[in-house]
Amino acid sequence: EAGVAQSPRYKIIEKRQSVAFWCNPISGHATLYWYQQILGQGPKLLIQFQNNGVVDDSQLPKDRFSAERLKGVDSTLKIQPAKLEDSAVYLCASIGGVNANTGELFFGEGSRLTVL
Protein backbone atom coordinates (compact mmCIF):
# COMPACT_ATOMS: atom_id res chain seq x y z
CA GLU A 1 0.00 0.00 0.00
CA ALA A 2 1.16 3.54 -0.63
CA GLY A 3 2.69 5.36 2.30
CA VAL A 4 2.05 8.85 3.64
CA ALA A 5 2.76 11.40 0.92
CA GLN A 6 4.03 14.90 1.69
CA SER A 7 4.98 17.86 -0.45
CA PRO A 8 7.03 19.83 -0.99
CA ARG A 9 10.11 17.99 0.32
CA TYR A 10 12.05 21.23 0.68
CA LYS A 11 11.07 24.88 0.94
CA ILE A 12 13.18 27.98 1.52
CA ILE A 13 11.43 31.26 2.30
CA GLU A 14 12.23 34.58 3.90
CA LYS A 15 10.83 35.54 7.28
CA ARG A 16 7.36 37.03 7.19
CA GLN A 17 6.49 35.06 4.04
CA SER A 18 3.89 32.32 4.03
CA VAL A 19 4.20 28.63 3.22
CA ALA A 20 1.87 25.65 2.93
CA PHE A 21 2.55 21.95 3.27
CA TRP A 22 0.35 19.16 1.99
CA CYS A 23 -0.14 15.64 3.30
CA ASN A 24 -2.04 12.66 1.93
CA PRO A 25 -2.28 9.91 4.57
CA ILE A 26 -2.48 6.18 3.99
CA SER A 27 -5.85 5.30 2.47
CA GLY A 28 -8.43 4.57 5.13
CA HIS A 29 -6.47 6.11 8.01
CA ALA A 30 -8.90 8.26 9.96
CA THR A 31 -6.37 9.92 12.26
CA LEU A 32 -3.81 12.39 10.92
CA TYR A 33 -1.08 14.25 12.78
CA TRP A 34 1.25 17.12 12.00
CA TYR A 35 4.53 17.18 13.91
CA GLN A 36 7.32 19.75 13.96
CA GLN A 37 10.85 18.38 14.29
CA ILE A 38 13.58 20.93 14.91
CA LEU A 39 17.09 19.74 14.09
CA GLY A 40 18.47 17.61 16.93
CA GLN A 41 15.13 17.24 18.66
CA GLY A 42 12.28 14.76 18.72
CA PRO A 43 9.01 15.43 16.90
CA LYS A 44 6.57 17.76 18.67
CA LEU A 45 2.85 17.38 18.00
CA LEU A 46 1.23 20.41 16.39
CA ILE A 47 -2.26 19.12 15.62
CA GLN A 48 -4.25 15.88 15.51
CA PHE A 49 -7.28 15.28 13.28
CA GLN A 50 -9.84 12.51 13.55
CA ASN A 51 -11.49 12.42 10.11
CA ASN A 52 -12.19 16.14 9.44
CA GLY A 53 -12.38 17.19 13.10
CA VAL A 54 -9.62 18.58 15.30
CA VAL A 55 -8.86 16.38 18.32
CA ASP A 56 -5.86 18.22 19.77
CA ASP A 57 -4.39 21.55 18.68
CA SER A 58 -3.18 22.67 22.09
CA GLN A 59 0.44 22.99 20.93
CA LEU A 60 -0.31 24.74 17.63
CA PRO A 61 0.84 28.41 17.58
CA LYS A 62 -2.51 29.62 16.33
CA ASP A 63 -1.36 33.19 15.71
CA ARG A 64 0.66 31.98 12.72
CA PHE A 65 -0.08 28.30 12.11
CA SER A 66 -3.28 26.85 10.71
CA ALA A 67 -4.27 23.42 9.45
CA GLU A 68 -7.28 21.89 7.82
CA ARG A 69 -8.54 18.52 6.69
CA LEU A 70 -11.77 19.54 5.04
CA LYS A 71 -12.84 16.23 3.51
CA GLY A 72 -11.23 14.01 6.13
CA VAL A 73 -8.57 12.75 3.76
CA ASP A 74 -5.65 15.01 2.83
CA SER A 75 -4.53 17.91 4.96
CA THR A 76 -2.77 21.25 4.61
CA LEU A 77 -0.59 22.99 7.19
CA LYS A 78 0.02 26.71 6.68
CA ILE A 79 2.42 29.12 8.33
CA GLN A 80 1.82 32.85 7.92
CA PRO A 81 3.93 34.84 8.62
CA ALA A 82 6.97 32.60 9.06
CA LYS A 83 9.62 33.29 11.68
CA LEU A 84 13.24 32.15 11.78
CA GLU A 85 12.43 29.68 14.57
CA ASP A 86 9.94 27.89 12.30
CA SER A 87 12.86 26.32 10.43
CA ALA A 88 12.25 22.60 10.93
CA VAL A 89 11.02 19.43 9.30
CA TYR A 90 7.24 19.17 9.27
CA LEU A 91 6.20 15.54 9.53
CA CYS A 92 2.77 14.18 8.73
CA ALA A 93 1.70 10.87 10.23
CA SER A 94 -1.42 8.76 10.10
CA ILE A 95 -2.92 5.85 11.97
CA GLY A 96 -5.89 3.65 11.30
CA GLY A 97 -7.15 0.61 9.47
CA VAL A 98 -5.79 -2.69 10.75
CA ASN A 99 -3.11 -0.82 12.76
CA ALA A 100 -5.59 1.35 14.63
CA ASN A 101 -5.30 -0.71 17.80
CA THR A 102 -1.52 -1.05 17.74
CA GLY A 103 -0.89 2.67 18.03
CA GLU A 104 1.68 2.56 15.23
CA LEU A 105 2.16 5.90 13.53
CA PHE A 106 3.08 5.86 9.85
CA PHE A 107 5.15 8.92 8.95
CA GLY A 108 5.78 10.65 5.67
CA GLU A 109 9.26 11.72 4.64
CA GLY A 110 8.65 15.24 5.88
CA SER A 111 8.83 18.74 4.46
CA ARG A 112 12.01 20.59 5.37
CA LEU A 113 11.46 24.33 5.84
CA THR A 114 14.27 26.86 5.99
CA VAL A 115 13.35 30.42 6.95
CA LEU A 116 16.00 33.04 6.11
| Binding residues vs another protein (CB under 8 A) | 4, 40-45, 48, 56, 91, 93, 102-105, 107-110
Looking at the chain, which runs of residues are DSSP E strands? Answer: 5-7, 10-13, 19-24, 31-37, 44-50, 53-56, 65-68, 75-79, 88-95, 106-107, 111-115
Return the number of the residue (82 or 93) whose C-beta is nearest another protein: 93
Q: In this complex, which beta carbon is closest to another protein, that of residue 19 or of residue 95? A: 95
CB of 78 to another protein, least distance (A): 20
Q: Tell me the closest approach of the beta carbon of residue 43 to another protein, in angstroms.
A: 5
